[in-house]
């Protein structure tokens, strides 16, 4: 079969724009021509463009006009604007996680600790509604870049659930590390919340996805979330936090520890932890306890490659694993971190969807359920863990 050519545009030129570009380079089923980049930070966009031999555009619209697919790699506060602009012009749009969010009222006095979380829920869902409406009217589609859905361990679990017609009784999982590197991460106004949305969205979406898979395989109908109870904390902002320099602690108004407990419509459950207070490298795992099997998806760390290094300085030029504090001693060093994390697999699937109409596992409905669950969880946390109903899409 002749490979189709798809022209791509990157919006945003920071951390995620870099790993998207690397994943594009690995797409094998479609010929991808990366045309250009646009970002609010024009100097960063120019540098990104020069490094890759692509064009830096001076407006979002002119980039969209020149391509078939847009990678939305901007801060959460800009997701809706970028995605809707692409959809209105009939383009596909790969939206980084989380789909969208409520990033405050724009005032100088806005503070994540103090505003009523019902507002985040209402405004967050209004944003979701506008994005879904733009998608419904468009020739393009939203492709939701939740890499956990495409992580190979989660996809193997999908196969087990489908073939054995499992009933999942409890999923528990976590994404944690010692603190995000991005300075903007400290502020609710850029990210639409703290760690519960920033990291919690990953294991939560994987859990919502697997319950969908279960329902579809058995009854032809996904099992959806029904309610959530949650707690959030700001541990590194406690006056009595004893800082020894290993954990980031300059957050302005966000949570750095969270737990969400989701009840599904079949009354089974999922428990999702997310935090910025965990040492020892990134901690990304999901465990599925089913009626006929139990699976541990060790996304990162995993034991595919374990390395002992007697002296930190030996590995000065060796990248080991995300967010590790030291390279000395034993390290679980993923043989291919991006592959275990699902980045190339999601981008391959999205290009196949755009080129050949193949179905995607991670779509706007799954993304919408995630946003709805998380902002309902923020309402719950504000009420010290009261159970809150989740609206589903
Ligand atoms: N899937 C993952 O593992 C993962 C990891 C990190 C970040 N992310 C997601 O990627 C997104 C971006 O995060 P990042 O770490 O790349 O941020 P970043 O700060 O490194 O880069 C953001 C870029 O977007 C540009 N930008 C911001 N708002 C814009 C707008 N409205 N229009 C055009 N350009 C705009 C900035 O100029 C900058 O170039 C976030 O949604 C984040 O949640 C996902």
Q: What is the pLDDT of residues 153-205, one digit of tens each?
A: 999 999 999 999 999 999 999 999 999 999 999 999 999 999 999 999 999 99
Structural domain of 328? 148-340+368-389
Model confidence pLDDT, tens digit, residues 50-65: 999 999 999 999 999 9
pTM: 0.98
Q: How far apart are CA 60 and CA 67, in angstroms?
A: 11
CA of 295 to the centre of ligand 1 (A): 32
Mark whether 68 and 170 lie in a shared domain: no
Return the best residue to mutate from 71, 74, 98, 338 for the ligand 1 pocket (most ligand atoms within 8 A of CB): 74
Burial of 44 (0-12, 13-18, 19+ CB in 10 A): middle
Q: How far apart are CA 129 and CA 364, in angstroms?
A: 11
Model confidence pLDDT, tens digit, residues 100-136: 999 999 999 999 999 999 999 999 999 999 999 999 9
Mark whether 87 and 222 lie in a shared domain: no
Model confidence pLDDT, tens digit, residues 219-231: 999 999 999 999 9
Return the best residue to mutate from 9, 11, 13, 14 for the ligand 1 pocket (most ligand atoms within 8 A of CB): 14
Mark whether 132 and 163 lie in a shared domain: no
Q: What's the mean per-residue pLDDT of the chain?
A: 97
Please, are residues 323 and 133 in contact by the beta-carbon 8 Å criterion?
A: no
CA of 17 to the centre of ligand 1 (A): 7
- Residue 326, classed as helix, strand or coil, is coil
Mark whether 257 and 210 lie in a shared domain: yes
Mark whether 65 and 166 lie in a shared domain: no
Mark whether 107 and 170 lie in a shared domain: no
Quote the pLDDT of residue 40.
98
**Is residue 1 pLDDT above 80, yes or no?**
no
In DSSP notation, 251-268 reads -SS--SEEEEEEEETTS-
Mark whether 131 and 199 lie in a shared domain: no
Closest by Cα among 71, 23, 21, 63 to 42: 63
**How many CB atoms neighbour CB 62 within 10 A?**
13
Mark whether 270 and 172 lie in a shared domain: yes
Mark whether 232 and 292 lie in a shared domain: yes
Binned at pLDDT 50, 70 and 90, residue 264 comes out as very high
Quote the pLDDT of residue 88.
98
**How many CB atoms neighbour CB 221 within 10 A?**
10
Q: How far apart are CA 118 and CA 256, in angstroms?
A: 20
293: domain CATH number is 3.30.360.10
Mark whether 152 and 141 lie in a shared domain: no
Closest by Cα among 3, 12, 341, 310 to 155: 341
Q: State the total domains in the chain.
A: 2
């Amino acid at each position: 079969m002749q490979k189709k050519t798809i022209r791509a545009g990157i919006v945003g030129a920071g951390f995620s724009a870099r790993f998207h570009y690397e994943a594009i380079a690995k797409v094998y089923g479609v010929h991808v021509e990366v045309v250009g980049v646009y970002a609010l930070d024009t100097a960063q966009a120019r540098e990104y463009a020069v490094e890759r031999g692509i064009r830096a555009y001076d407006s979002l619209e002119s980039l969209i006009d020149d391509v078939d697919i847009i990678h939305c790699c901007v801060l959460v506060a800009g997701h809706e604007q970028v995605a809707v602009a692409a959809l209105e012009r009939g383009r596909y749009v790969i939206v980084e996680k989380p789909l969208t969010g409520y990033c405050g009222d724009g005032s100088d006095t806005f503070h994540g600790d103090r505003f009523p979380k019902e507002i985040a829920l209402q405004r967050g869902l209004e944003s979701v509604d506008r994005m879904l409406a733009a998608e419904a009217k468009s020739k393009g589609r939203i492709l939701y870049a939740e890499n956990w859905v495409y992580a190979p361990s989660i996809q193997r679990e999908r196969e087990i659930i489908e073939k054995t017609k499992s009933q999942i009784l409890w999923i528990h999982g976590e994404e944690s590390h010692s603190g995000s590197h991005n300075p903007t991460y400290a502020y609710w106004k850029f990210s639409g919340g703290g760690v519960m949305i920033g990291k919690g969205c990953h294991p939560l979406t994987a859990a919502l996805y697997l319950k969908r898979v279960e329902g579809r395989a058995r009854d032809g109908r996904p099992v959806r979330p029904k309610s959530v109870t949650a707690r959030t904390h700001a541990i590194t902002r406690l006056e009595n936090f004893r800082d020894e320099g290993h954990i980031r602690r300059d957050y302005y108004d966000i949570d750095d520890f969270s737990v969400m407990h989701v009840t599904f419509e079949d009354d089974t459950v999922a428990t999702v932890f997310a935090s910025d207070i965990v040492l020892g490298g990134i901690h990304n795992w999901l465990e599925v306890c089913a009626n006929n099997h139990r699976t541990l998806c060790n996304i990162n760390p995993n034991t595919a490659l374990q390395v002992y290094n007697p002296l930190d300085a030996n590995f000065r030029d060796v990248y080991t694993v995300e967010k590790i504090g030291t390279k000395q001693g034993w390290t679980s060093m993923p043989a291919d971190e991006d592959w275990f994390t699902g980045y190339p697999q999601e981008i391959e699937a999205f290009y196949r969807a755009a080129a050949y109409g193949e179905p995607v596992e991670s779509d706007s409905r799954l993304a919408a359920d995630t946003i709805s669950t998380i902002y309902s969880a923020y309402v719950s946390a504000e009420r010290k863990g009261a159970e809150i109903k989740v609206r589903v899409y």
